[in-house]
Structure 1
Amino acid sequence: MQPEGQAKRLVIVSDAWHPQVNGVVRTLTKLREQMEARGFEVTIISPADYRSAPCPTYPEIRLALTHPLAIRARIEALQPAYVHIATEGPLGIMARRACLKNNWRFTTSFHTRFPEYLRERLPVPLSWSYSFLRRFHNAAEHCLVPTQSIHDELAERGFATLKVWTRGVDRELFRPQPDVDLKLPRPVFLCVGRVAPEKNLESFLSLDLPGTKLIVGDGPDLHELRRKYPNTVFAGKKEGETLARYYAGSDVFVFPSRTDTFGLVLLEAIACGLPVAGYPVPGPKDVVGASGAGVLSDNLQKAALGALEMGRVDPDVRLKGFSWEACADIFESVLTTIGSAKVLKSRKVKSDRVIPAP
């Protein structure tokens, strides 16, 4: 039995938050909605709460500028029952330090292959980066990972307490819309996401495909790729109903990334009826392989043309098991009360039941 008042007070610490548009932010936004609907009092600690500076090579990502003691004091003042650290950035590092100082139990999640992303930009060995991440996450009671493939990879690298944590998709927003006409030569091969080196977009843009290649998204490589591939349509960043119409009006979704841990855009595309083409790597293997909603091949052109031949897919059949409700179920199942000795000093303990002090 949970203590009253504090019982469902949850603090989530994330270096990724609005106005960023990415899978981490979408996941945490939907998770907060789900947890609040279940009666949890959720506080997000993010860079939006502090002075911040742009991340090198990613200026739209802000890094919080604050002192570790300030983060520790804020979390203590919130008196949470649960702490979840979603990212391994400055705020995540400070929150982890605060939990360890207080002897609090906490959970973490692994969203992004930062070692691979960093290696795209700097000559930093993967072993160094994964050593840091392993120490970071192994201090947690549970580390949530997006797919079984990522689970297995991290387990081989010595990560412990791993738990697969699925994702969902808004089926009311992302849906088949047969009447949408993008007024582009068909077939339309669509890719949605950040226009950045780690997304491996040139593997898609260099393909010899009929019809139109369409990129929806923004990022540091946008201007260079526009110049290099003048026959590709670059629509920029889109959200909400406008984004859903881009999906619905396309014929194939191409996912050239080899480093994404999941790829929420895969679920969005399938929800709109699009077959997916991608590489047989974590993310596509777990989503497309599990759903049968596309073609995976080391030859991306073969995968794209094979997906086109498949035609539209039925999201009701392909998306079973992928829902935000299931995502929240798993998250709730691993939440661990902080169990702090500091908090227990103000409580009366009877048997194994903790009663809050009046």
Structure 2
Amino acid sequence: MKICIVTDAWRPQVNGVVVTLSNLIAAGEKLGHEFVVIGPDQFHTIAAPSYPEIRLALTSPKAVGELIRAHRPDHIHIATEGPLGVAASYWCPRNGELFTTSYHTRFPEYVEARWPIPAAWSYAALRRFHSGSAGLMVATQTLADDLSARGFQRPMLWPRGVDQTLFRPVEDLPTELKSLPRPFFLYCGRVAPEKNIEAFLTLDLPGSKIVVGDGPSRLPLQERFPKALFVGVKARHNLAPYYSAADVFVFPSRTDTFGNVMIEALACGAPVAAFPVPGPIDVITDPRVGLLSEDLRAACLGALQLSRADCRAHAARYTWPESARIFIDNIFRARAAALTRRASA
């Protein structure tokens, strides 16, 4: 099968969507499928508001449709709800093309955190966007249930994976950490308002707090929390030493749909401390590998006692080949159901 993925999040961006799609394609190709990507790198772009490193395509449904036609795919998957996704979702039904979509990011909560726009308004817009999809792929059952309750149709589970060759225990301690007192409490990800990093940095914890990543909140947070170490962005092949060094991986976000970084940290042996919210409650399903509590400090301190071997074993359940297999199976099932609905209409 030849699959065209339309996505507003693509290289050289560094985020969970790009990681997911890159690993999907690599694993899917090994299963014998072909992928083509229509991303912002193929258009003139402008910077996203408050995220200058994210480029938004300046395009139209016609332009995106011409690229889709040129690729002659067997199926179209629209991965994001940005300009490219909107253009593709407009073009596909008007040209007889079935498509699936995915829900990676809680945009309504992100938007509400920045501007006075109620989340309910954004959810209404997203519901319209996904309404034409033959299947809406989501990472967890919790998210599927939440979206269904909000009126979204045809959710399908698409779990994530972790590269066990890239994320594994590493003994070498990063140079920046060698002079810091133990224990190490680590956050890794975008440094942005929706990640709720202040909830971690304000905790009264022993040892050291370490932040890996960059984003619009980095400089303000560095000024407010000078005792925390901000090491900036690290290439994915350089992340394992930081995860491995962590005595606890802290995931303070309340809005992520999944949180790939949690299983990356677990694969390196770091137990997780997080709030009991969607994402963490779907990943940390075993109390031996992480603690979830509204008292994040208690979760951090309790996680210090957990087994690193159990963490690695838990992460081994998440593989990209299985994720890709489920993605492809979802496409076949979604197309078959959509064709049945067309025939009976």
TM-score bin, normalised by smaller chain? over 0.9
Which amino acid is the alignment partner of residue 36 of structure 1?
A: E
What is residue 230 of structure 2 aligned with on the other side? 234
**Deviation readout 1:308-331 (Å, 9 max, x if unpaired):** 122424345212431101110110
* Aligned ranges 1:30-45 → 2 under 5 Å: 30-45=23-38
- 1:247 paired to 2:240: no
* In 2: Cα distance, 1:74 partner to 1:318 partner: 41
* In 2: Cα distance, 1:337 partner to 1:68 partner: 26
Instruction: Give the CA deviation at 1:177.
Output: 2.2
Instruction: Give the CA deviation at 1:146.
Output: 0.8
Structure showing greater radius of gyration is: 1
Contact 1:275 1:293 in 2 (8 A): yes
- 1:175 paired to 2:160: no
Which amino acid is the alignment partner of residue 225 of structure 2?
A: Y
Where does the alignment leave 5 or more consecutive residues of structure 2 unmatched?
336-342
SS of match in other structure, 1:282 = coil
What is residue 317 of structure 1 aligned with on the other side? 313
What is residue 155 of structure 2 aligned with on the other side? 162
What is residue 11 of structure 2 aligned with on the other side? 18
Is the alpha carbon distance of 1:310 and 1:291 closer, same or farther for their aligned partners in structure 2, counting shifts above 3 Å?
Answer: closer
- 1:335 paired to 2:336: no
- 1:52 paired to 2:45: yes
Which sits farther off after the overlay, 141-150 or 31-40? 31-40
Return the structure number with greater helix share. Answer: 2
Which amino acid is the alignment partner of residue 180 of structure 1?
A: L
| Aligned residues between the structures | 333
* In 2: Cα distance, 1:282 partner to 1:39 partner: 33
**Deviation readout 1:81-135 (Å, 9 max, x if unpaired):** 1000000000000011111111211110000000000001111111111111111
* In 2: Cα distance, 1:338 partner to 1:284 partner: 28
Instruction: Give the CA deviation at 1:292.
Output: 4.2
What is residue 92 of structure 1 aligned with on the other side? 85
- 1:27 paired to 2:31: no
Instruction: Give the CA deviation at 1:238.
Output: 0.6
SS of match in other structure, 2:211 = strand
* In 1: Cα distance, 2:65 partner to 2:8 partner: 15
* In 2: Cα distance, 1:336 partner to 1:289 partner: 29
Where does the alignment leave 5 or more consecutive residues of structure 1 unmatched?
1-7, 340-351, 353-358
Which amino acid is the alignment partner of residue 62 of structure 1?
A: R
Contact 1:82 1:338 in 2 (8 A): no
Contact 1:107 1:336 in 2 (8 A): no
Instruction: Give the CA deviation at 1:10.
Output: 1.0
Which sits farther off after the overlay, 128-137 or 9-18? 128-137
What is residue 278 of structure 1 aligned with on the other side? 274
Which amino acid is the alignment partner of residue 330 of structure 1?
A: I
* In 2: Cα distance, 1:281 partner to 1:59 partner: 29
**Deviation readout 1:1-33 (Å, 9 max, x if unpaired):** xxxxxxx22100000001111110000000111
Which amino acid is the alignment partner of residue 48 of structure 2?
A: C
